[in-house]
A and B are shown apart, each in its own frame.
Chain A
């Protein structure tokens, strides 16, 4: 995702300017932080007045790395308004495409956008594993970087087959999907997935998925790491060893509150089991204490964002997007609105899914150290290990059900409102839509990066990664790699750099 915000905009990322972080450093560590989304794109404003189905074409363009994600949220909102129930095959095809996109994103983000900083020689020349990191992650040259570019472009062929192209297809429509791949193509998806799985096991994990699934605690992890050379040499093994020396599990704690909307609605007849009709569970967690998720508790606060002031925090069905570029002088400092759940700031992403979904290993990590860079990034790196088995099940079910329905006709989108709330690669994504006379009258998007990269709210409470930056050591003010790790552990859309450091001694 890239930017969004409210407005449409999409907040963050890329270094040259879509995200800027300002911090105050005292005694070598961060004491204050402000996160600024520097680009406003106005997607929500451009949606008003468009055709009822146009969200399926326009919103995927919010983000080039997770366009299927926006398509999924957009179509679920329209399904809700139309009261449409997609057939099982449509559920399978939608889930397969979204899962594929999430996996390519997880692997690309971890290796190309997070671990690539381990190869930052200006920062890690002295790190005992710095030289090895360079061999693995140097841009366009490192062994792992080269492999990831090769394997992920092959993986997204699954979306190419199901949806016609990646990125930016619109094959999901209210009531289902636009076509059913031929048997040979479904088999090809299975082969692509199996090939990705073998590479993922060999290079990322260093062991079969099943062996990784046995890691249920921190002591299991220690045993796993010692067990074999292939475990230590894998990307997960290397990440663990490098992080330990760099002390990443003690950095980037944040609010330690988590949010997941849940994801992957299950077909009625499937071997896959989930929670409340979805594979990935929804919930809200304070530390490791998990509560039921209630979508009515979501609000957007604009007190510190560049929008016309005056309104109290509102639910996204009621909120507005009126940009007002007032510059750096007042209290407004970002194009990102501040989403809150029951008035609280929270982080979202793979770690939130693990904690809320009840993964004992990640729950133990959070119970012990709170959220941190190490736990967040490890959750992302190993999430495909928990998803790949479902890919196989749904593809096998599709082979059996090839001739069953994939679309229940929806002739007209009636007047009404609906929301599509899902888990994107980066966490909780919501589209809130109102339709009148087959036209869009209201469209609000809250991306995961809005949650994670939120500015302060009306109470002055920092956003998730602003909070996580507090206490982060800054060894070199011109190359603040530690602060970069904190931000990147949240996986801001694409990359981001921390610059504009303001020093106050």
Chain B
């Protein structure tokens, strides 16, 4: 692990809301300041944090493109806007499609990380006129903007830090790993297993209710949110209930269903806050589960539910 040498970081904004930046700023340990100091990282550019003049910014970009300015880590937030009709003119920079700048920088960087679901898979706008795609995926399909064969200078493909927004501990953890030269172990959607090897369901304080299928059918009832309220916690990877948000909580702890925001198909087309189901059993079952077995198991579990759960006495 080499941390002594200064490494350069450039943060590019695509079609996004800045939510990943503000998640990043919410990191407690290390906080953003400590991160840059201790890792000896030089932030060449971040649209919300930098104060250099437009001219200076332009010369950094020119330097990277010409190869004079080395770029170790390129972080991209927001989708690649390709509409209308592939021109990218729904998102421009100086009259040129912004995606052209992205291409120039990505081909020079040693490592490219997509921060958030929009940058990873297209996210909001993937099915709409803006023709949004992710850096190396269009939803579940490999390819995306840079193509399925793309690898950055380090030999690694795009690292997808999924989430809407990406959890602060993931952004910071991935930057630390990247600066240390770690080679990421990825799942099939190129999410690092380090943070996407568990489900959002793991660590959920409603697990007891889930186990005995004691369900919530309206907000605030206290129960499992999976069967009626549209919770995707058992369906998607993420660490929301393992590393808490803002060091405090998670949506499911606050009674809000998981919306499945680390999934390549987020946002799903079916209504949120509802679970599509057949005879009370959700259409989408937890990863790897057999439907017939699951129906029998949940039927028996519901029958075996202890009184304190049926009466919603157990806190969540």
Contact = CB atoms under 8 A, between A and B. Distances in A.
Most buried by B among A20, A157, A160: A160
21 contacts: A39-B81, A39-B91, A42-B125, A45-B129, A51-B271, A51-B274, A54-B271, A58-B124, A64-B22, A113-B48, A120-B53, A137-B51, A150-B31, A153-B31, A164-B249, A164-B250, A167-B22, A179-B255, A325-B87, A407-B220, A494-B47
Nearest to A163: B254
Q: Is the interface of B mostly helix, strand, loop or mixed?
A: loop
Interface string B11-23: 0110111111111
B221 to A, nearest CB: 9
Nearest to A162: B254
A9 B17 CA distance: 10
Interface string B81-112: 10010010111111100100100000000000
A163 B129 contact: no
Interface in A83-113: 108, 112-113
Given A42-B130, A65-B18, A168-B164, A157 B124 contact: no
B164 A16 contact: no
B294 interface: no
B92 A38 contact: yes
Contacts of A38: 91-93, 98
A221 interface: no
A122 B94 CA distance: 23
B66 interface: no
Interface string A116-141: 11011011000000000000011111
B129 A323 contact: yes
Contacts of A289: none
A497 interface: yes
Contact of A2 (B18, B28, B89): B18
Nearest to A407: B220
Contacts of B22: 64-65, 166-167
A409 interface: yes
Interface size class of A (residues with CB under 8 A): 35 or more
A340 interface: no
Interface stretch (A170-178, A381-389, A464-472): A170-178
Given A14-B13, A168-B165, A178 B271 contact: no
Interface in B241-268: 244-256, 259, 261, 267
Interface in B18-52: 18-23, 25-28, 31-33, 36, 43, 47-52
A171 B254 contact: yes
Interface in B215-244: 218-220, 240, 244
A493 interface: yes
B246 A157 contact: yes
Contacts of A173: 219, 273
A165 interface: yes
A42 B122 CA distance: 13
B105 to A, nearest CB: 11
A140 B36 contact: yes
A234 B51 CA distance: 22
Contacts of B50: 139
Contacts of A45: 128-129
Given A16-B93, A46-B127, A166-B245, A325 B23 contact: no
A156 interface: yes
B5 interface: no
B255 to A, nearest CB: 3
Contacts of A177: 219-220, 255
Interface residues of B, number: 78
A179 B25 contact: no
A150 B50 CA distance: 18
A345 interface: no
Nearest to A57: B272
Main secondary structure of the interface of A (DSSP, over half): loop
A52 interface: yes
A63 B271 contact: no
A460 to B, nearest CB: 23
Interface string B186-209: 000000000000000000000000
B49 A112 contact: yes
B51 A149 contact: no
A222 interface: no
A489 interface: no
B75 to A, nearest CB: 13
B19 A64 contact: yes
A53 interface: yes
B297 to A, nearest CB: 28
Given A39-B81, A163-B256, A497-B54, A56 B91 contact: no
Contacts of B155: none
A199 B94 CA distance: 41
A139 B51 contact: yes
Contact of A409 (B13, B28, B218, B252): B218
A35 B9 CA distance: 30
A17 B36 contact: no
A38 to B, nearest CB: 5
Contact of A61 (B93, B124, B219): B124
Given A18-B13, A58-B124, A479 B53 contact: yes
A54 B257 CA distance: 13
A14 B256 CA distance: 31
Contact of B90 (A139, A169, A323): A323
Contact of A179 (B23, B54, B127, B220): B220
Given A178-B255, A407-B220, A500 B94 contact: yes
